[in-house]
Amino acid sequence: MSGARSRQAAADLLIETLDNRRTLDEAMATSQFFERLSGPDRGFARAMASAALRQLGRIDKGLAPFLTRSLDTATPPARALLRVGAAQAWLMETPPHAVVSETVDAAKSWARAKSAAGFLNAVLRKVVSDRSHFDKAPVISVWPDWLTVAMMTSLGVEAAGRIAEAQLVEPELHLTPKSPDEAGALAASLEGQVIGPGSVSVPTGRIAEMEGFEGGGWWVQDVAAALPARLLGAQPGEMVFDLCAAPGGKTMQLAATGAKIVALDRSASRLERVSENLARTGLSDNVEIVADKLEDWTPSQPADRILLDAPCSALGTLRRHPEGAWIKSPDDIARFPEVQARLLEASARMLKPGGTLIYCVCTPLSREGVEVVDRVVAGGLLERAPISADEAGDFANGVTGHGDVLTLPNGQYGHDFFFVSRLRRI
């Protein structure tokens, strides 16, 4: 029954994410079905759930012709098992007999899904014999319709399509060494490759077991996420505020420059992780940790430089967290620009005249990026300090007419999608 149990667990992970609006990581921590598994069975369950989430919109379009009613009318367990079965058949090359028999067995041994066993058997037999409707579904339909419209409106049809295509590929793990000069040696030791000016890409694995982790020589950080701290240009001895600092990758980058860092975040629990990573990497000495709301905090002195990685929709990280497209709503997204503008204005008031501020968000939506910056710049406290193509390096294709950067797909390596703007206090 191990095959059935893995499929049962995968379906439960989909219910936890899509119906209960949890991230996949949260779902794996709360699902009793998943908790009962171990070893390869657990890995297979996660792989099935992840594959289904990565191309959920296309899977649903592929299933629709085999159903007499909308998929939404099925019970959550039946709906989830159908998606798990389709992911096996269309994305994972699982043998057809295993797709049907093991998924149906999962329903039969699950009280909430038992009554749907016959229905699942009939539909999955069609699924394994006909993938044409899935193949015809456009790549951009991996997202819900409202998000497709938002992406196209912000980026244009071509760029939105490239981001959707990037989501189809399971991402590798990106690491940042304490010094960019160490990237080559780190890549060699982990059988990875150097990407960008000082990051390393390696196959996904157990992070804590990788060579060099315990010694603190590197930390996990997407190559695009490493760009904002690099563009800030912090110098030894300067006072630098890292605002909304958790989970801490940028904090460690800034600490490695020799600047004096204040790392502020409203979440004390998330700052514990920042402190742990600073201790592991030996970068704690020149970092002060502050748990407070940005707008309530009054620094003892203004900063020479500030990095504000503002709260956002996180739609630029859908490659790593594809469920984000389905557990967020348009109303969730709409609340961010007002918050972001308020935080940017508050950050500007903490900066010395002539000081530099980086505003970044891990989303490609213009309403959270360029429109927020334009609004605050119009207030007269900040002006742009344009980023050049040379400074952007491998992301030069994303430099805008304003001198901001959007880390769109560049054909070189997989990365997240950030908006970065460099500003100066007038």
Task: Of 59, 49, 6, give the one whose Cα is nearest residue 27.
Answer: 49
Q: Which residues pair with 177 in a beta bridge?
A: 218
**CA end-to-end span of the chain:** 67
Distance CA 79, CA 116 (A): 10
Which amino acid, one-letter code, is at 321? H
Residue ranges in 55-116 assigned as alpha helix (H): 56-63, 76-91, 96-108
- What gap in Å lies between CA 223 and CA 199, rounded to an integer? 6
Catalytic residue status for 244: no
For 300, what's the count of Cα atoms within 13 Å in the CB-facing half-sphere? 4
Residues 6+ apart with CB under 8 A from 190: 175, 200, 202, 210, 211, 212
Measure the CA–CA gap between 112 and 77, rounded to whole angstroms. Answer: 7
Residue 18 carries which DSSP code?
I
Phi and psi at residue 418, to the nearest 5°: -110, 150
Count of CA atoms in the C-beta half-sphere (13 A) of 381: 16
Instruction: List Cα–Cα distances, 305 to 106, 254, 347, in angstroms.
Output: 56, 11, 10
The SS3 assignment for 5 reads helix
Please check whether residue 32 is in contact with residue 77, taking contact to mean a CB–CB distance below 8 angstroms: no
Report DSSP state, residue 285. T
Could you give the CA distance from residue 148 to residue 151 in angstroms, rounded to a whole number? 5
Residues with a catalytic annotation lie at 362
